[in-house]
Amino acid sequence: MRVLVVEDEKTIVEEIASALSDAGYVVDVARDGDDAWFRAETENYEAIVLDLGLPRLDGISVLKKLRAARVGTPVLILTARDSWMERVDGFDAGADDYLPKPFHRQELVARLAAIIRRTGGHFSPILECGDLRIDTRRSAVTVADKPIALTALEYRAIRYLVHNRGRPVSRVELAEQVYGGEREPDSNALEVLVGRLRKKLGQDFISTRRGYGYVIED
């Protein structure tokens, strides 16, 4: 899944990007409000981590512009620990949750996963589809209770497809969620990746809808 991190402090950006990458997310970074607004309005993200104290355009203004443009991407705002007014302003502007600084990596990952689940209609950290079970807290996948070893790219792909089960996901959309918007995979890289998943999970688990993309039936 692809996440936009909006933060101008280098050390915090590195900490967040490291935590989310370890949890299986593809991370894009915006360091000012104008870039954040452009990326969030034009790109497809599963969630946004948004600091409020940004150069060029503050975080509250970014959030208000996104909600005014009917961009419903869930937003986790970062605030100073003692700034309750920032939290109120964030919720009023359309934030889904907040995390005070300084924060623990595990809490960041847990809160972000929770708002993604809620907005996607999933309220458990466990995604299930038939015999397949994905524990998003541990990035662990099992089939019929048997652990399945997946690479980071394979995990990103299957988690996104299961999260969107019943809906065909285009090749472009899946590639963005697996590889990130800044990277252009080889022409057949995605087919090879899906082929490996089919070998590990079952040939019929992921279907190809010609002209639409890949789908896991609901």
Per-residue pLDDT of the chain (218 residues; tens, 9 = 90+): 899 999 999 999 999 999 999 888 999 999 999 999 999 999 889 999 999 989 999 999 999 999 999 898 999 999 876 677 888 888 899 999 999 888 999 999 999 998 988 877 565 778 888 899 999 878 899 999 999 999 999 999 999 999 888 889 998 889 888 888 655 566 688 899 999 999 999 888 999 988 888 999 87
Identify the residue whose tokens are 């959309």: 173
**Residue in 50, 34, 31 with CA at minimum distance from that of residue 90:** 50
pTM reported for the whole predicted model: 0.74
Strands 207-209 and 26-30: unpaired
Going along the chain from its start, the domains and CATH numbers come out as 2-119 (3.40.50.2300), 126-215 (1.10.10.10)
Long-range contacts of 105-109 (CB under 8 A, 24+ apart): 105/15, 105/18, 105/19, 108/16, 108/19, 108/20, 108/49, 108/76, 109/19, 109/20, 109/23
Give the three-class secondary structure for 200.
Answer: helix
Q: Say which residues have a Cβ less than 8 Å from residue 109's Cβ, sequence separation at least 6.
A: 19, 20, 23
**Which residues are 101's β-sheet partners?**
80
Helix (H) or strand (E) holding 17: helix 10-22
The C-alpha angle with vertex 47 and arms to 165 and 79, in degrees rounded to 5, equals 150
**Which residues are 208's β-sheet partners?**
214
Give yes or no for a contact between 34 and 56, defined as CB atoms under 8 angstroms apart: yes
Strands 47-51 and 97-101: unpaired
